[in-house]
Amino acid sequence: LVSRGVEVYLEDHDPSVARTAAALGAGSALPPEGQVDLVVVAVPPAHVAATLADAQRRGLARGYLDVASVKAGPRRDLQALGCDLSRYIGTHPMAGRERSGPLAGTADLFEGRPWVLTPTRETETEVLNLALELVALCRAVPVVMDADEHDRAVALVSHTPQLVSSMVAARLQHAEDTAVRLCGQGIRDVTRIAGSEPGMWMDILAANPGPVADVLAEVATDLTGAVEALRGLQSADGEKRRTGAAGIEDILLRGNAGRDRVPGKHGTAPKAYEVVAVLIGDQPGELARIFADAGAAGVNIEDVRIEHSTGQQAGRVQLMVEPAAAPGLTTALRDRGWSIRS
């Protein structure tokens, strides 16, 4: 917002957090002189209602919104606290990190991401417009939804995946070092969000337990089926082995079909990019150099992944580019001395 010319004032119950964010260029940690246009409440879900009610009591703004990951609960709490719901809109940007705090924030976090808005008949048009302006300034894509529909959707696409990732990662807690040393890219992909802040997720899950339990019950059915199928594959009986194989194949195929429905970058249909894989040394500036070389070759990098090799000061960067750009990029990087991997 600051880079787009908006005056931003930061407040946190831990003043050092607001000061750190201000030092990073996210706004001013001093209070505003008069009323502002919009208050954005970005605190853990359980504290949203009290924080927003306090801001309304202080008459800080013309409009108020929150960005909590659940929507029905905070609205009910605000109602119970007697807040002016005409001046409030519940929102949720579908973008975030597994890390918390101002140091984890990035200016381009919301670009091209869905940002859910949950206006009701009570919401003043002016407040909806302020929220739409905020979403546009962050270059996100507004999606209007009902609060309960939102909570069911995020149970499926965000809250259950968090729990499943944590459960897979939990298997490693007491695992042998010899096994953990073999961790490759697959487990890194599946467990990235298992590194998230437990306090925040306790709040989120406590505010959306029913819809998450419904999705997790379906996962549990698949898990039971997978265990039975694998036991079948262990069996000496040929018929049980065939049934087991069919059960496992069914899960893998349904997984492929579900994965195909995950939208690509900027919410568009998934796109097939060509991968140019490059070996890089684990030293400062390597990524910046490779991006600069790709830029000099006139190639837009659509996405990027890094595989770190265990026990080696090196990694493999996968640059995802439009198929037509891949041969030119490969040649350009090779000419600049990079080692291209297949």
Ligand X SMILES: O=C(O)C(=O)C[C@]1(C(=O)O)C=C[C@@H](O)C=C1
Q: In the complex, which residues of this chain contact ligand NAD (CB under 6 A)? A: 12-14, 17, 42-45, 47, 51, 67-69, 92-93, 96-97, 100-101, 200, 204
**Which partner, ligand NAD, ligand X, none, binds residue 101 by CB below 5 to 8 Å per kind?**
ligand NAD
Contact characters 167-196, ligand X, x per CB under 6 A = --------------------------x--x
Helices (H), ranges, the chain: 15-23, 48-57, 72-80, 125-137, 147-154, 160-170, 177-180, 185-191, 198-206, 209-234, 238-260, 286-296, 326-335
Beta strands in the chain (DSSP E): 36-41, 61-66, 88-93, 114-118, 141-144, 274-281, 303-308, 314-321, 339-341
Interface residue with ligand X, options 53, 94, 127, 131 (CB under 6 A)? 94
Amino acid at 13: H
Q: Considering only the stretches 91-99, 100-108, 178-186, 298-306, report the one whose residues sit in contact with ligand X under the rule CB under 6 A.
A: 91-99
How many residues belong to the site for ligand X (CB under 6 A)? 9
C-alpha span between 291 and 314 (Å, rounded): 17
Beta strands in 94-245 (DSSP E): 114-118, 141-144
CA 313 vs. chain centroid, Å, equals 29
Residue 96, both tokens: 């975030």
* Site for ligand X contains 166 (CB under 6 A): no
Interface residue with ligand X, options 11, 12, 54, 98 (CB under 6 A)? 98
C-alpha span between 229 and 4 (Å, rounded): 56
Report, in Å, the least distance between residue 59 CB and ligand X.
29
Report, in Å, the least distance between residue 305 CB and ligand X.
14
Task: Please give the residue whose beta carbon sits closest to ligand NAD in the complex.
Answer: 96
Sequence-distant (≥ 6) Cβ neighbours of residue 225 within 8 angstroms: 247, 251
Compare residues 154 and 317 and give the one whose CB is closer to ligand X. 154
Number of other residues whose CB lies within 10 A of the CB of residue 5: 7
Compare residues 123 and 208 and give the one whose CB is closer to ligand NAD. 208
Amino acid at 12: D
**Which partner, ligand X, ligand NAD, none, binds residue 14 by CB below 5 to 8 Å per kind?**
ligand NAD
**Which partner, ligand NAD, ligand X, none, binds residue 12 by CB below 5 to 8 Å per kind?**
ligand NAD
Collapsed DSSP state (helix, strand, coil) of residue 66: strand
Compare residues 32 and 281 and give the one whose CB is closer to ligand NAD. 32
C-alpha span between 325 and 327 (Å, rounded): 6
**Which partner, ligand NAD, ligand X, none, binds residue 13 by CB below 5 to 8 Å per kind?**
ligand NAD
Name the residue among 201, 197, 193, 191 with its Cα closest to residue 171.
191
Report, in Å, the least distance between residue 42 CB and ligand X.
11
Compare residues 93 and 247 and give the one whose CB is closer to ligand NAD. 93
Interface residue with ligand X, options 19, 47, 62, 97 (CB under 6 A)? 97
DSSP 83-134: --GGGEEEEEES---SS-SGGG--TTTTTT-EEEEE--TTS-HHHHHHHHHH
**Which partner, ligand X, ligand NAD, none, binds residue 71 by CB below 5 to 8 Å per kind?**
none
Report, in Å, the least distance between residue 161 CB and ligand NAD.
12
Q: Which residues here bind ligand X, judged by CB under 6 A?
A: 69, 94-98, 158, 193, 196
